[in-house]
Structure 1
Amino acid sequence: MKLSITVVALVAASASAFSPSTGLRATPVGTALQALPEGVKPIVIGLAADSGCGKSTFMRRVTSTFGGEQCGPLGGGFGNGGWETNTLVSDMATVICLDDYHLNDRGGRKISGLTALNTAEQKFDLMYEHVKALKDGKSVMKPIYNHVNGTLDAPEKIEPTPVIIIEGLHPFVDERVRDLIDFSLYLDISPAVKLNWKIQRDMEERGHSLESILASIEARKPDFDAYIEPQKEFADYIIEVLPTDLDPEDKKTLKVRAIQKKGVPDFNPTYLFDEGSEITWTPSADKLSSPAPGIKLAYRQEQYFGNDVAVLEMDGNFDNIQELVYVESNLGNTNSKFYGEVTQAMLSLADSPGSNNGTGLMQTLAAFAIRELYNKKAATAKLAANKKVAATA
């Protein structure tokens, strides 16, 4: 099975990179989107998750790992009533939000009576055609779902880049799309954590009542259970976010597990201390300080949907990201280019959510795995191209 990862669009940037009058991308002054190198076939990354599960933060970690010059906006638009794009573009990667393939706008869904989670509200044929075209090195005219207005806006032109990331609610539903994905990931946030996050945001920050929050969650649950969660079966890398096991009364500390499928081409799961072993480790407080209730790591071998997986786990928070190098020194198969790169990547996004716990660590390790997979596939393609040239010389 191919590896799948789902990813989300990021923070707002310069709107001048796109033209609202035509919906087509206009290259900003001083930057240039590089043409796809001769013989390079884009790789496709898929990321699946429910709304509000941290896809944007994960995308930030992935795109920063690849580097490259930013050539397009990170989404956002021109405020209420304005045109917007959900697409993130750099000269290395394009992140496409699959909300753009909604069948109906917000008003149309009121008439149909279906939610955006329902697969009947998605244009899977068009999604497949566009992902296939981009993987074949062709440009597409992609629709835009305007999250500000809930409308379907004028399409925008998307050019292929070496890495194409599709993120959203339904990247693994259509078998044809799944077959195009080279690496896939699912962000699995437990119901208890979702509730805590929503209470913190909507009750503490927005003044919503607990009753309204619970009603909102319950209203989405049937469609989430029916259409979103089953996609976990098709993912090769699952980041599972759970309440801590260190203190049953603690509602904010997280236990995060990276469930890594074994036997996936061009991917080797990260391990702790000794590959294939079973380990529970409490780091020395002198080397990795942490607030109560403390911190613990684990590594074990499990079965997940009938597949052999290696599970790396971190429970608890750490006080100082720089001290994470102590943990990094005991990890294997991190796909880093040099010692300390994992910690450096965490420091570069220190203000992002999850940077003081296992969420940021597992997202960073997943981003490095994607980079390594791209490098291996690019090297294989280059070797094949060189052989072809030599054969015709």
Structure 2
Amino acid sequence: MSGIPGTDHGHLPFVLGIVGDSGSGKSTVAQGVASLIGADRVSTLELDDYHRHTRAERTELGVTALHPSVHNFPLMQEHLRLLGRGRPVRNRRYDHSDGTFGPIRTVDPNEVVLVRGLLGFPNDELRAAYDLAVFLQPEPELLFRWKLRRDVKTRGYKEADVLKHIARHLLDSKEYVLPQAERADLVVRYEIPEWDAPDSEVRATLTLRRNAAEAVRSNGIMHRFGGFVAFEEGDDSLTVRVDSGLPPEMVDGWAEERFADTYQPGALGHFMDDDGNDSRLVPLAFAQVLIADLTQKLRRTAGATHAAAAA
């Protein structure tokens, strides 16, 4: 196939899914990945746009945003299929500020289509639409902490309302969101040694499967981080454990090496701390670089496969 608008050398767009519970860091991870790949090479699809109901309607119906019934999966699947073939799609936009829908907008596929949302691959049919599926899974205490912080400090919610919201979401999250981890190529789990440990002690465990695991095995990083990053082989997986003390210059050097044209010093790993200030979390930066690097490596593999098939 050739001549697809917005793609390089006629290759099909690469569909990257970043999925996780509310407050898991999807937007933060996605922004870092897009900045490394290059904003002009990435299109973003927000899965909240596929809600069937406004926030007020969901409240009236007594369902949460995590329940499958409030998502238009057939339309989502069709749009992912079209974007993967290099076709633009049109859909209304969900506005988080008031929980309503805005005007129709067009998403044009670029070299990478970055898909972000709560329920990106809830079944095998939707999972098949992604070239790389990433699931973010902070341990419960961190998820609670990050969601409360985000909703109060950036979305203007009252703390009491957020706490009620979290309580209503717990069962749906366990039943519908968390099982998606089993379908992911990469699961990023953030952990702390004790429930009251500060964010500075966050460490990450990344579990890679299938082609993603093989791509990391062959990308030359398994010996560059010393004792700060450990690699453990499984039967059909690779586990990467990132220590909270990983020096930021190690990750920065890796990012600059892999993305010399787009890397900006100190731009990765940023998150909002408990005081609402901008801080840096090195294991987060590591995850951003790894996902971007996997995307580029798997894109090249997919491009070669497409070219061979067309020959």
Tell me the TM-score range normalised by the shorter chain.
0.7 to 0.9
Corresponding residue of 1:63: 34
- Post-superposition CA distance 1:3-27 (Å, at most 9, x none): xxxxxxxxxxxxxxxxxxxxxxxxx
Against the structure 1 CA distance between its residues 356 and 317, is the aligned structure 2 distance closer, same or farther, given a 3 Å change threshold? Answer: farther
- C-alpha change, 1:226 and 1:272, in structure 2 (3 Å) is same
Q: 1:239 to 1:351 in 2, by over 3 A?
A: closer
CA deviations over 1:232-282 (Å, ceiling 9, x no partner): 0000111110003xx7863331111111114559734465339xxxxx964
Change (3 A) 1:155 1:212: closer
The residue aligned with 2:275 is none
Partner residue in 2 for 1:159: 108
* Greater RCO, CA 8 A, separation 6+: 2
Aligned match of 2:286 in 338, 353, 361? 361
Spell out, residue by residue over 1:157-177, the C-alpha distance to the aligned partner (whole angstroms, 9 max, x if none). Answer: 222222212110111114322
Looking at structure 2, the residues matched to 34 and 126 of structure 1 have their Cα atoms a distance apart, in angstroms, of 22
1:376 to 301, 306, 310: 301
Asked if 1 retains the 8 angstrom alpha-carbon contact of 2:89 and 2:107, the reply is: yes
Written as runs of structure 1 = structure 2, the 5 A alignment for 1:129-140 is 129-140=78-89
Instruction: Give the CA deviation at 1:178.
Output: 1.3
Note the C-alpha offset of 1:355. 4.0
Contact persistence 2:49–2:93 (CA under 8 A): yes
Offset at residue 321 of structure 1 (A): 2.7
Q: How many residues align?
A: 296
Q: Does 1:185 align with 2:110?
A: no
Q: Deviations over 1:59-92 (max 9, x none)?
A: 122212222xx5xxxxxxxxxxxxxxxxxxx3x2
- Structure 1 pair 142–268 and aligned structure 2 pair: CA distance change class (3 A): same
Q: Is the 8 A contact 1:46 1:183 kept in 2?
A: yes
Cα distance, 1:55–1:263 mapped onto 2, change above 3 Å? closer
SS of corresponding position for 1:267: helix
Partner residue of 1:349 out of 267, 272, 279: 267
How far, CA to CA, are the matches of 1:262 and 1:122 in structure 2?
A: 29
User: Per-residue deviation at 1:36?
Assistant: 4.2
2:222 to 272, 292, 302: 272
Is 2:256 aligned against 1:308? no
In 2 relative to 1, CA 309–323 (structure 1 residues): closer, same or farther, beyond 3 Å? closer
2 CA distance for matches of 1:366 and 1:345?
14
Please provide the CA RMSD for this pair. Answer: 3.3
How far 1:382 moved relative to its partner?
3.7
The partner residue of 1:52 within 20, 23, 32 is 23
In 2, the alpha carbon distance for the partners of 1:44 and 1:324 equals 25
Would you say 1:321 and 2:248 are equivalent positions? yes
Q: Tell me the residue number matched to 2:209.
A: 261
Tell me the residue number matched to 1:26: none
Distance across 2 between alignment mates of 1:99 and 1:249 = 32
TM-score, normalization by structure 2: 0.81
Q: Partner of 2:90: helix, strand, or coil?
A: strand
Work out the CA distance in 1 between the residues paired with 2:196 and 2:50: 42
Determine if contact 2:186/2:212 at 8 Å carries over to the other structure: no
Instruction: Judging by fraction of residues, say which structure has more helix.
Output: 2
Give the conservation status (yes or no) of the 8 Å contact 1:266–1:373: no
The 3 A distance-change label for structure 1 pair 260 and 350 is closer
TM-score (norm 1): 0.65
Return the index of the structure with the highest Cα Rg. 1
Q: Distance in 2 between matches of 1:134 and 1:192?
A: 36
Residues 139-164 of structure 1: per-residue CA shift (max 9 Å, x gap): 22222112222112232122222221
